[in-house]
Amino acid sequence: MPRSFDLFAACLPGLEPLLTDELVALGARPKRLRGGVAFAADAPLAMRSCLWLGTASHVLLRLTEFPCRALGELQRKAAQLPWREWLRPNVPVTVRATTHGSRVYHTGAVVERIENALATAFGRPVSPATGADTIVASVHVRFKNDVCTISIDATSTPLHRRGYRLEGAKAPLREDLAHALVLAADWRADTALLDPFCGSGTIPIEAARLALGIAPGRLRDPAMEHLALFDGDAWQVARSAPPPRAAVERAQIAASDRDAGAIEAARRNAERAGVAAAIDFQCCAITATPWLQAGAAPARGVLATNPPFGLRVPKGDRLLPLYQTLGHRARGLGDGWRVALLAHDVRLARRTGLPLRAAWTTRHGGLAVTALTGAVVATET
Ligand SMILES: C[S@@+](CC[C@H](N)C(=O)[O-])C[C@H]1O[C@@H](n2cnc3c(N)ncnc32)[C@H](O)[C@@H]1O
């Protein structure tokens, strides 16, 4: 296994600053780029990044780079690459290609040349078996300004698939976005966190795992295990290193939703995530949420939530009273609270009357979504 890797941690556009901070906390010296962050790492740090990054979707190992101006040249150079040092013979491979500003511009032909080289190296066709659970190695070939870069995904499934959210609700949020919302809220884990529209529980579960020091990748297969690059000793080092941020012993987290099925799913998801004891789930409408009753909330905390967008769940204009109720109830929490809302319609979110500022914007399920955060300015009583 190489002593050190050049890596690229990819994330949804807009999350790069949070991902950079996460990498700094892991001890890396990251360079922020569009769509992700580049960094160098030894094998344990490369594996730790797959285990601990909460806002990344992939970690790519950049394995080689060479000038290339023609498909014939690619075929020749690809045949000389040490594929058997990188990939396992029994693991199917998918090849993806992109090209920009290069004489080689036909991505389908690039994929075909690389697949030919793999077939020669392994003595079999490389195309992946079908089936949702099949482990597949992903090779990424990028042409930029006549330079070909070959990378391999360090994990066989995207990092946001943590493995606990086996049951969704109406419009489940991606785990990396829930993680990014909690990070943007600047939540201190020794204070409270409330999600009154918790659905399948993604936001409170990500918050609880952050608070208790549970790695986002804890339920996932060991990083790189599906590759010939896997190093069991490095994995043991990576796994036994302490969490990148201080953990608390007990978290104070409440979550509610008016949909009984969503709450049942959220409880089971939290069980799988190892945080069921840390979250108090209640089935109730926002107007009956226990901490949103006068004087019932802890003194300090964050209300972090993803209210209905009005697209996949009931229609936009009908949501105005719901957002106004949210704003009114949030102000009742008191000055020790902050709010973090994930919104599709920023104007609707502002109708909460809360002083919100955009922390990041990205796309989720084909929609632009913005994380809005702000301090609660309490209502006079
Ligand atoms: C966008 S979804 C939240 C998704 C959640 N973040 C997840 O990852 O599954 C909004 C949720 O708000 C809930 N909801 C809608 N109106 C509500 C109300 N008046 N009181 C409480 N929950 C409500 C819906 O049942 C739905 O689960």
Confidence of residue 378 (pLDDT cuts 50, 70, 90): confident
Secondary structure percentages of the chain, helix, strand, coil, to 5: 30, 25, 40
Confidence of residue 380 (pLDDT cuts 50, 70, 90): low
Distance 347 CA to ligand 1 centre (A): 19
125 shares a domain with 268: no
150 torsion bin: left (phi>0), alpha (psi -120 to 50), beta (else): beta
Average pLDDT, integer, range 293-302: 96
73 shares a domain with 182: no
Among the candidates 100, 120, 153, a domain finishes at 153
Q: Give per-residue pLDDT as tens, 168-203.
A: 767 899 999 999 999 999 999 999 999 999 999 999
Residue 311 has pLDDT above 80, yes or no: no
Distance 177 CA to ligand 1 centre (A): 16
Q: Which tokens hold the place of 248?
A: 């608390």
User: Using CA positions, which residue lies closest to atom 10 of ligand 1?
Assistant: 308
Q: Are strands 192-195 and 301-305 parallel, antiparallel or unpaired?
A: parallel
122 shares a domain with 250: no
CA distance 122 to 202: 41
How many Cβ atoms sit within 10 Å of the Cβ of residue 213? 16
- Radius of gyration over every alpha carbon of the chain, rounded to an integer in angstroms: 23
Distance 257 CA to ligand 1 centre (A): 6
Residue 276 falls inside a structural domain: yes
User: Using CA positions, which residue lies closest to atom 21 of ligand 1?
Assistant: 285
Write down the pTM of the prediction. Answer: 0.94
User: Using CA positions, which residue lies closest to atom 27 of ligand 1?
Assistant: 199
Pocket probe mutation, ligand 1, options 166, 194, 197, 200, max atoms within 8 Å of Cβ: 197
Residue 236 falls inside a structural domain: no
Amino acid at 4: S
Distance 267 CA to ligand 1 centre (A): 15
Confidence of residue 74 (pLDDT cuts 50, 70, 90): very high
Q: Where are the alpha helices (DSSP H) in 231-367?
A: 232-240, 260-273, 320-331, 346-350
User: Using CA positions, which residue lies closest to atom 1 of ligand 1?
Assistant: 308
Average pLDDT, integer, range 195-216: 97
CA distance 298 to 193: 9
207 shares a domain with 123: no
| Count of positions (residues) in the chain | 381
136 shares a domain with 20: yes
Residue 309 has pLDDT above 80, yes or no: yes
133 shares a domain with 179: no
203 shares a domain with 284: yes
Residue 239 falls inside a structural domain: no
Residue 232 falls inside a structural domain: no
Among the candidates 101, 119, 153, a domain finishes at 153
Q: Are strands 337-343 and 301-305 parallel, antiparallel or unpaired?
A: parallel
25 torsion bin: left (phi>0), alpha (psi -120 to 50), beta (else): alpha
262 shares a domain with 146: no
What pLDDT score was predicted for residue 134? 75
CA distance 63 to 78: 12
Give the H or E element holding residue 183: helix 175-184
Distance 190 CA to ligand 1 centre (A): 26
Residue 292 falls inside a structural domain: yes
- Following CA atoms 331, 357, 373, 178 in sequence, which dihedral angle do they give, to the nearest 10 degrees? 140
Pocket probe mutation, ligand 1, options 175, 258, 283, max atoms within 8 Å of Cβ: 258
332 shares a domain with 371: yes
Residue 336 falls inside a structural domain: yes
| pLDDT over 70, % of the chain | 95
Residue 110 has pLDDT above 90, yes or no: yes
CA distance 297 to 363: 33
142 shares a domain with 252: no
Helices (runs of H) and strands (runs of E) counted in the chain: 11, 14
Domain containing 318 — which CATH number? 3.40.50.150
Pocket probe mutation, ligand 1, options 165, 167, 257, max atoms within 8 Å of Cβ: 257
| pLDDT over 90, % of the chain | 88
Residue 73 falls inside a structural domain: yes
How many Cβ atoms sit within 10 Å of the Cβ of residue 15? 28
Q: Give per-residue pLDDT as tens, 231-246.
A: 999 999 999 999 999 9
Of 364 and 64, which is predicted with more confidence? 64
Domain containing 68 — which CATH number? 3.30.2130.30
193 shares a domain with 92: no
Return the ligand 1 atom nearest residue 286 CA: 20
Angstrom CA distances, 265 to 72, 270, 283, 286, 291, stand at: 53, 9, 11, 18, 22
Contact (CB, 8 A) for 56 and 39: no
**Domain boundaries, position 140:** 4-153
Distance 306 CA to ligand 1 centre (A): 7
What pLDDT score was predicted for residue 133? 53
> Which residues lie with the beta carbon below 6 Å from any ligand 1 atom?
169-173, 197-200, 202-203, 257-259, 262, 285-286, 306, 308, 313, 322
What pLDDT score was predicted for residue 364? 85
Distance 216 CA to ligand 1 centre (A): 23
Distance 308 CA to ligand 1 centre (A): 6
46 shares a domain with 148: yes
Return the ligand 1 atom nearest residue 322 CA: 19
Residue 161 falls inside a structural domain: no
What pLDDT score was predicted for residue 167? 80
Number of domains in the chain: 2
What pLDDT score was predicted for residue 257? 98
Distance 296 CA to ligand 1 centre (A): 22
- Alpha carbons within 13 A on the beta-carbon side of 294: 3
